Each structure stands twice: as C-alpha cells, then as structure tokens.
Amino acid sequence: MFVDGRQVPSGTVLETDIAIIGAGAAGITLARELIGDSRRVMLIESGGFDLDTDTQALYEGESQGVDYALDAARLRYFGGSTNHWGGFCRPLAEIDFETRDWVPHSGWPLSRADLDPYYTRAQAVCQLGRDLTAADFDDTAAWAKRGLGAPLPFADDAFVTRFFIYSAPLRFGEAYRDEVGRAPNIVTYLNSNVLEIVPDAMARQVELLRIGTLGGHTFDIRPKICVLACGGIENARLLLLSSSVQPAGLGNGNDLVGRFFMEHVHVPGQIALIAMDDKAAIPAGYNEPKEINGALVRAILMPSDAYLRREKRLGLNIAIYPMRAPGAEGTPEAERPSEAGIAQLLQLQSAGASATIFGASCAAEPIPTPGNRVLLAASRDALGQNRAKLVWRPTIEEHRDLARNVDALGQSFGRWGRGLVKALFTEKPAWGEDEIGWGNHHVGTTRMAIDPKQGVVDADARVHGLGNLYVAGSSVFPTGGPVNPTLTIVALTLRLADHIKSINLTGRV
C-alpha cells in the first residue's frame, strides 16, 4: 500500500516493526526481501512516483574543493538514483576487500567470498541475465565461447580482461512498484521526509523518526528496527542532523560520520589514444556491449591483482572504443575527443595508412581520505534542515597512480607489438581542473569497521553503540574499488536482509 504523507494528520504516531528510510536501490531491495515476513514494514520516501522540482531542491547543497552540483548527482523520488542509473554492474574484486599497506584506511571486515552468494542473488535483482554467477564477470574463456571474442593477448601480466554485465538499465521504482505496493505487510509513505532519527536518552536505541512534509504536516514513526538507506551523502547528513540527544550526531562519537567520502574519478575525454594497424585486433566486445544469452556484456581492461600488489597501485577500469570524428552524432560524452585527443589524432594516424584510432577512458579507484567529507552547511532547505556541504578533491597520490597506470597500459600494448599508445594523462604536480570528472558514485561516509574508532557501522551494518539502527548503501564501503557501486549495494542489502530476518522482534530489539 502507498500512502501520501501529506494526507497523514499532524501529530499522528505510527508504529512498525521495521522502518526503511529511502526507496532507492537499497531501500527497495530490502523491502522486497521482507515481503511476506510476519513483521510490519514501513518504507519512507521523500518524493513521489515522479520527479518534483521542490522535492529535488532538498538535495541542493554546498561544495568545496571541486565544484560538485549535489542536486544533479542524485534523484529524490521512488526508485532513487536508479531512475538515471546507467546499468553498469560488476562486483568488487577480492583485493578490494583486503587491507593493503599502500592504501591508507583500507580493509573491510568482510571478504569477497562472504559476498559471493549475495552477488549472485544481486544479479537477479538487477536483472542482468539468466543463470549467471559472480564468477561470470571474470570468465574470459566462457564469454569467448559465447561469442564475445578472445581477450587481448598481452605479453605481460599488467592488464587483464574483465567484464561489465549491464542492467537494462533497471528502474527499481518502476520495476518493483507493484510488487511493493501489493505486499500486505508493507506500507510505503511517499512525500515524507525524515527530519531526525531520535534515540532514547542514553542513545542506545532508536525511539522514533520525526517526519515532515513540504506541505507542513509532521508525524512520528516508532520502529523496532530502523534502516537508513538514503545514499552516500544523505545517510551522513541525516545522522549529523539527528543531534537532539547526541549534539555531534548519531553514531558520531568518534567524529567519523561523513568522513572518507569517495568518488570515482572519470577523466573527461580520453586518458590515452591507441593506434592499431588492424581494427579487428581489438574484438567488438571491447567496443560496445553485446547481448549474449540474455546478458548484455562488455569487455574492459583492469590491472591484474599481481600487478597491483607488485607495483602497489590503485585499481582502475578502462573502456576502449573506436574514436569518432569530433562532433559525430550520437557519440557518448565519455567518448568525445578531448582537445588534447584531437590534437594527437593526426600524429597517430601517421603510424600507418590503415591505422584505426581507439580511445581509452577510465574510472579510477579513490583513496579513502578523512578530510574528504560531508558536513552540515549553515544554509537551510525548505524543511528548515541544514543542507549538506561536500568537501572533496582527489589527492595528488591518486593523480600520480593513474598516470603510472596509463604508462603501464602503453607498455602492455608495446610488448604485444600491435598498438601505438599516446598517453594523454601524464604525471603533474597537481590535478588540473579539466582532469576531474566523476561518476556520481558516493561512497564511504558511514564506513564499516569492527573497531568503532575506525568506522561508523559494524560488519552487520549496525551503527556502533545503537542496538537497532542499521545503514544500507555505498556509504558503508570502507574502500570504493574501481567499479560502479550498485551491484555491491544490492549484495550488501541482501546480506543485511538475511541478518534482519534472523532477529527476534518480541518487544524491543
């Protein structure tokens, strides 16, 4: 059932077993997992079923370091940011979960093996294709047999072929609306904004959620379990806003809420150009997604684990595509030639009359840095709440690492002997403003750690010190890896659902 919060009389107090704040990928996934459960569930969404400018304006905020438009990066209505999701899916690698001595603050309290069964389930939730497992993202032999082509036969081990498997892309709010709406144990409150998560006097349990609407209605929800699933920026913001009992905000006794914000740098244009003497030397599966047995798949290049450990580098994923003429109709933004790329095209074409020029774009793994963070701004939104302030800029170590990985890519092609690579991203003493693009991936602001001095939530995603408050979404990632976060968000949410279903809710938690 769906209820418009604007129609709930002010002063109403509602009770539920489980409250889920936010109806994006995490919130809808968790709600679906609880369909048919004996417990009552309330799913609370700020927006309605369609984009509303007044509601979307609640995402407006301030940025420092990089000019980052907070309201353009997310969508605030049923389905959340899956409403503009590109559908890119790939799990984090085993190395991404490890503590690496060259990556400060790295290490998860989970392993890739812990998440593998949930990744397989997440592929079904994201509707990626039939009969797939987590291993399919790395199985070059299987995809070659299915018609994607053999992997590039590099002579060294620096770069290997891996795969993205694409969602349609799935719009969770459209695909799962009827299922959630029909569930007899779930009530979804639309146009309802959580203003504060209020704990008991000792800040040991969540007592109630204060709800407000843009129309001025206010009401309360009393849950036995509360799950915060509002995204990497808003999760931190709401914890910081929940300050009536703990002035620094809930879960913020160690000043960690909002810290370690991470984004995947996507360098605008190309990081390198590759001149190939034979266009067919790079199979079509690298150039664009191909549908194979119901799955939409694209090959990419990634540094091998052996290379990352040997060279102490950060992860990276690289897409390769034939360069199109400047201004060619239908060229995706990420594949448009940059000014530097245009200047190099003629030079590379001189490598041979039949040379085909490929571009290489990337998403780079960020370093978790405590100074990159979400804070509360002094300015306020239409609900009277402090807006978010994002302080983020990629570090010079990330720039240096990316430049060296680009150089290693050139060496791999050189040793293969089939391509001439011109690096467009090279080492500099600082980031250039024209080098910083991003994927709208908000990671790390309520990071997961066993020690409350190192993170906001524990390995079960429960906020340290609070018995019944959990966090879902990419804000719990201790590190971001080099790939899009949605599949991992869904996998972690499925794991959280299993944990919540195991809790006995006789009375309070």
Domains and CATH numbers, the chain: 1-128+170-263+368-392+442-504 (3.50.50.60), 132-166+265-364+395-435 (no CATH)
Tens digit of pLDDT for each residue in 311-346?
999 999 999 998 865 555 555 555 555 555 555 555
CA dihedral sign, ordered 102, 105, 109, 112: negative
Query: Which band of pLDDT confidence, cut at 50, 70 and 90, is reported for residue 132?
Result: confident
- Kind plus residue range of the DSSP H or E element containing 112: helix 112-125
Region of 429 please: left (phi>0), alpha (psi -120 to 50) or beta.
alpha
Q: How many angstroms from the chain centroid is the CA of residue 227?
A: 18
Query: Which band of pLDDT confidence, cut at 50, 70 and 90, is reported for residue 169?
Result: confident
Question: What is the structure's pLDDT at 388?
Answer: 98
* Mean pLDDT for all residues in the chain: 92
Question: What is the structure's pLDDT at 340?
Answer: 55
CA distances from 365 to 68, 107, 117, 263, 321 (A): 18, 14, 24, 8, 21
Per-residue pLDDT, averaged over 160-188, amounts to 95
Question: What is the structure's pLDDT at 353?
Answer: 46
Tens digit of pLDDT for each residue in 397-428?
999 999 999 999 999 999 998 888 999 999 99
- Kind plus residue range of the DSSP H or E element containing 14: strand 13-21
Angle at 118 between CA 114 and CA 120, to 5 degrees: 120
AA identity, residue 333: E
277 exposure class (CB count in 10 Å sphere: 0-12, 13-18, 19+): middle
Distance in angstroms (rounded) separating the CA atoms of residues 469 and 456: 11
Q: Enumerate helices (H) and strands (E) in the chain, giving the number of each.
A: 13, 19
Question: Which of 42-56, 147-161, 191-205, 337-351 is least confident?
Answer: 337-351
Question: What is the structure's pLDDT at 41?
Answer: 98
Distance in angstroms (rounded) separating the CA atoms of residues 381 and 473: 24
Question: What is the structure's pLDDT at 175?
Answer: 96
